[in-house]
């Protein structure tokens, strides 16, 4: 009986060991796949950051409220080429990426806002929310333009790709917070719209905005009441109202990634840059994946399989096992690098810009600006029957 029991125990032990090894193999395979996907996503994110850096250098993002698409005046933007996929040679060589303005001048959200603002029936309340959203969009585009251009000028391309996702994650979180704070400021500073009246009742042409003063008491008190209600609305409905800055923030980021470029005179998008990052930074990707595979082999399979994985990787790297896994892919169509300076942008606006006054200015009945004396004269004439 004891011999039979001993045999059964050995069988159970062998079976348990076999099951445990099979389980370790499964865990190892799943872990490798997960790591592989994470590394590909990480380098893809680095490609997106690189794309934004090059886009920022061309300075075509809608950062000026006096220019299109916010107004009808097109900006004058210097068309430049940017360096991408640079080499470590002397002189430095690179592929070229540019973003023609005529291929990227449309902005669906801002164009929609402008179309409404130019309607003869344009309403002050809708313009209030448009003013807030447009200011948030302009702020975010300017932030992207400034920060990414700075990274493009000061950081080597390899650092942008390797550390860009980490820097981007920090900037993303910080941007969410700043947008909420700026939104609160805009909620109050845009209340001048409550003291404006569209006097165009013809049904055609542009709206004619006139300031509401104390000499139009009904409109003035209505504006003051709306302002008070909107102060209460901010405090009571802030969790819902945060949708506005969150929408504006993400719209700015996503729309920037959809700009169309030309890489070596061929159509290019953010996806094109991602694919080329994975292609030309193949060696970095493979080395990092190999290191994780070795670590996972030690942690999941044991010392012997771990050592075997090191030997296998070494043999592939030194060419004993004839695979092209560690053979880098060289860049194509290279030319001497150009300047990293940001393109210049000017805007000669034909619109007459009216100064925007704050809520307190309007509440004091001063929204008519320097015309308060003429308003008093008008009231005096009415009282005297003239």
The 10s digit of each residue's pLDDT in 172-183 is 999 999 999 999
Kindly list the distances between the CA atom of residue 299 and the CA atoms of 225, 293, 309, in Å, as whole numbers in the listed order. 68, 10, 12
Angle at the Cα of 233 from the Cα atoms of 228 and 236, rounded to 5 degrees: 130
pLDDT for 156? 95
The arithmetic mean of pLDDT across residues 102-120, rounded, is 94
The arithmetic mean of pLDDT across residues 335-341, rounded, is 95
Bond into 91 cis (ω within 30): yes
Is position 211 within any domain? yes
Q: Specify the range with the lowest mean pLDDT, choosing from 11-20, 27-36, 304-313.
A: 11-20
Angle at the Cα of 260 from the Cα atoms of 258 and 263, rounded to 5 degrees: 130
Is position 1 within any domain? no
The arithmetic mean of pLDDT across residues 300-306, rounded, is 86
Side-chain half-sphere CA neighbours of 272 within 13 A: 19
Is position 372 within any domain? yes
Kindly list the distances between the CA atom of residue 189 and the CA atoms of 234, 350, 351, in Å, as whole numbers in the listed order. 13, 25, 22
Nearest CA to 142 among 59, 81, 250, 47? 59
The arithmetic mean of pLDDT across residues 116-134, rounded, is 95
The arithmetic mean of pLDDT across residues 19-41, rounded, is 88
- Non-local (6+) Cβ contacts of 267 within 8 A are 260, 261
The arithmetic mean of pLDDT across residues 372-376, rounded, is 43
Sign of the four-CA dihedral 91, 97, 102, 104: negative
Give the pLDDT confidence of 191-230 residue by residue, as tens digits.
999 999 898 888 888 999 998 887 778 888 999 999 999 9
pLDDT for 320? 80
Coil vs helix vs strand at 96: strand
Nearest CA to 160 among 23, 55, 308? 55
Is position 208 within any domain? yes
Bond into 192 cis (ω within 30): no
Is position 10 within any domain? no
Sort 107 into a burial class: Cβ within 10 Å, 0-12 / 13-18 / 19+: buried
pLDDT band at 15 (very low <50, low <70, confident <90, very high): low
Write out the two tokens for 119: 């309607």
Number of folded domains in the chain? 1
Q: How far is CA 265 from the centre of its chain?
A: 25
Is position 276 within any domain? yes
Write out the two tokens for 373: 């004396």
Residue 233 clears pLDDT 90, i.e. is over it: yes
Q: Specify the range with the lowest mean pLDDT, choosing from 126-135, 136-145, 265-274, 364-373.
A: 364-373
Q: What is the DSSP letter of 225?
A: H
Coil vs helix vs strand at 335: strand
The arithmetic mean of pLDDT across residues 23-33, rounded, is 88
Place of tokens 């344009």: 122
Is position 57 within any domain? yes
- How many CB atoms are closer than 10 A to CB 292? 17
Q: Name the strand (E) or helix (H) holding 350.
A: none
Is position 197 within any domain? yes
Bond into 222 cis (ω within 30): no
Residue 352 clears pLDDT 60, i.e. is over it: no
The string of DSSP letters for 4-39 reads HHHHHHHHHHHHHHHHHHHHHHHHHHHHHHHHHHHH
Distance CA 18, CA 25 (A): 11
pLDDT band at 10 (very low <50, low <70, confident <90, very high): low
Do the Cβ atoms of 21 and 60 come closer than 8 Å? no
Range of the domain at 131: 15-384
């Amino acid at each position: 009986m004891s011999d039979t029991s001993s045999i059964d125990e050995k069988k159970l032990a062998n079976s348990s060991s076999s099951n445990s090894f099979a389980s370790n193999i499964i865990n190892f395979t799943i872990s490798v796949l997960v790591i592989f996907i994470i590394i590909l996503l990480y380098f893809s994110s680095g490609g997106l950051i690189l794309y934004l850096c090059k886009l920022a250098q061309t300075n075509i993002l809608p950062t000026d409220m006096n220019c299109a698409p916010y107004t009808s005046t097109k900006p004058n933007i210097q068309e430049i080429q940017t360096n991408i996929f640079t080499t470590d040679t002397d002189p430095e060589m690179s592929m070229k990426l540019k973003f023609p303005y005529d291929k990227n001048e449309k902005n669906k959200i801002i164009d929609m806002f402008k179309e409404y603002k130019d309607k003869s029936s344009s309403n002050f309340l809708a313009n209030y929310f448009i003013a807030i959203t447009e200011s948030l969009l302009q702020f975010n585009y300017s932030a992207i333009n400034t920060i990414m251009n700075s990274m493009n000028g000061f950081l080597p391309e390899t650092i942008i790709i390797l550390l860009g996702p980490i820097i981007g994650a920090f900037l993303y979180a910080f941007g969410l917070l700043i947008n909420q704070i700026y939104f609160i400021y805009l909620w109050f500073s845009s209340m001048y719209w409550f003291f404006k009246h569209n006097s165009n009742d013809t049904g055609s042409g542009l709206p004619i905005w006139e300031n509401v003063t104390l000499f139009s008491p009904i409109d003035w008190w209505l504006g003051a009441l709306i302002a008070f209600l909107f102060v209460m609305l901010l405090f009571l409905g802030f969790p819902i109202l945060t949708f506005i800055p969150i929408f504006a923030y993400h719209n700015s980021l996503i729309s920037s990634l959809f700009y169309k470029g030309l890489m070596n005179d061929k159509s290019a998008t953010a996806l094109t840059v991602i694919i080329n990052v994975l292609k030309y930074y193949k060696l970095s990707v493979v080395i990092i994946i190999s290191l994780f595979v070795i670590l996972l082999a030690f942690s999941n399979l044991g010392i012997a399989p771990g050592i075997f994985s090191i030997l296998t990787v070494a043999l592939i790297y030194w060419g004993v096992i004839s695979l092209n896994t560690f053979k880098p892919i060289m860049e194509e169509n290279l030319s001497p690098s150009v300047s990293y300076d940001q393109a210049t942008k000017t805007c000669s606006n034909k619109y007459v810009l009216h100064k925007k006054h704050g809520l307190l200015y309007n509440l004091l009945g001063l929204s008519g600006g320097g015309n308060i004396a003429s308003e008093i004269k008008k009231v005096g004439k009415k009282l005297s029957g003239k």
